[in-house]
Amino acid sequence: MNTAAAVDLSVQVGALRLRNPILAASGTFGYGIEFAHLVDLNLLGGLVVKGLSREPIEGAPPPRIVETPSGMLNAIGLQNVGVRAFVAEKLPVLRKYVTPVLANVFGNTLKDYVEVIRTLEDAEGLAGYELNISCPNIKRGGIQFGGTPATVSEVVTAARRAAVNRPLWVKLSPLVADIGLIARSAAEAGADALTVANTYPAMAIDPRTGKSRLGNPTGGLSGPAIKPITLRLVWEVRKTVEIPVVGLGGVEKVEDVLDYLSVGASAVQVGTASFADPAVTRRLVDGLAEAVCDAKCFTINDIVSYFAAEIG
């Protein structure tokens, strides 16, 4: 008899085999360790830690998070302990788990990205890297690395040379004219997979003061509000490149996961939903197994083709 427990949820993302397609997204799950008492980390498909920079960053002034209709706006300012403290203090704890851990990497110069990856290359216990390219390039007047095919190629090429030992995922910025061109550029520069996508630049004003509701003037929009927009981006990227795509934006329910898988994502990440329910990732893994079972399928791939056939 087919039971949820017998269902095979495993997926392949390039060289990485994940026990299921549910990963925790960068910046919304701390360094993973903070959630270990709420979710059995070993049951997740993987987790992406908070973005890491060369030096520690204190982050943006408060408030850093505000709620918006169907979404959340954040301006954290990429606060983190810095790559060396991550390796010394967080990684030894994370190593005890079997779940693949990806390090999210960012910088303001090519040298920053390369330096962070080089420091991580010497450390044990990581399954791969995820490059956050939605950061301002200070050598090019603050324009995002992820904004043009040329700058994407530059940063991915540099990171690829440094990332000798592990898979390199590149997390695209959603705010570009043609996501297909950007995706192709990242793939040609050596990305092993693409994460689609980051938050959308946005604002929220307090009508009583006429000022931003955040400590910064602007922030990044996430949550259910962005899901239909990002779903289209994943579909577009899937049509353009051969490498695996990981979808993220507004995943809250099993249906959201199936939507992303149906348009060609190999796995999904869950961000904002963990704020409302810190155990949502675990709930999604269980719900997905039940959905596969209810559809009288045995593997996650069976149910995805089943849904694709339904959609036509």
Ligand X SMILES: Cc1cc2nc3c(=O)[nH]c(=O)nc-3n(C[C@H](O)[C@H](O)[C@H](O)COP(=O)(O)O)c2cc1C
| Residues 24, 44 contacting (CB under 8 angstroms) | yes
Which range of residues in 21-29, 38-46, 95-103, 288-296 is near ligand X by CB under 6 A?
A: 21-29
**What residues pair up with 143 in beta bridges, in sequence order?**
137
Rounded to whole angstroms, how far apart are CA atoms 24 and 284? 11
270-309: contacts with ligand X (CB under 6 A): 270-273
CB of 123 to ligand X, least distance (A): 19
- Cα separation, 201 vs 210, in Å, equals 19
* Contact status: 233 vs ligand X (CB under 6 A): no
Q: Is 247 in contact with 183 (CB distance < 8 Å)?
A: no
Reply yes or no on whether 297 is catalytic.
no
Nearest residue (CB) to ligand X, 51 versus 167? 51
Q: In this structure, are residues 39 and 279 in contact, taking their beta carbons and an 8 Å threshold? A: yes
Minimum CB separation of residue 24 from ligand X in Å reads: 9
Q: Which residue is nearest to ligand X (CB)?
A: 27
Side chain identity at residue 270, one-letter code: V
> Which of 126, 248, 280, 297: binder of ligand X (CB under 6 A)?
248
Instruction: From the candidates 16, 135, 189, 263, give the one annotated as an active-site residue.
Output: 135
Contact pattern from residue 123 through residue 162 relative to ligand X, giving x for each residue in contact according to CB under 6 A and a dash for the rest:
---------x------------------------------
The CB-based long-range contact list for 213-217 (8 Å cut-off, 24+ gap) reads: 213/63, 213/66, 213/73, 214/60, 214/63, 214/64, 214/65, 214/66, 214/73, 214/74, 214/75, 215/60, 215/61, 215/62, 215/63, 215/64, 215/75, 216/60, 216/61, 216/75, 216/77
Does 75 sit near ligand X (CB under 6 A)? no
Size of the site for ligand X (CB under 6 A): 26
CB of 128 to ligand X, least distance (A): 14
Cα(286)–Cα(283) distance, rounded to whole angstroms? 5
Residues 80/60, Cβ–Cβ less than 8 Å: no
Tokens of 18: 């994940």
- Say whether residue 78 binds ligand X (CB under 6 A): yes
Q: Does 76 bind ligand X (CB under 6 A)?
A: yes
Query: For ligand X, which is the closer residue by CB, 33 or 248?
Result: 248
Q: What is the DSSP letter of 33?
A: G
Please list every residue from 168 through 187 that binds ligand X, using CB under 6 A. 171
198 lines the binding site for ligand X (CB under 6 A): yes
Contacting residues toward ligand X, per CB under 6 A: 25-28, 50-51, 72, 74, 76, 78, 104, 132, 171, 198-199, 222-223, 226, 248-251, 270-273
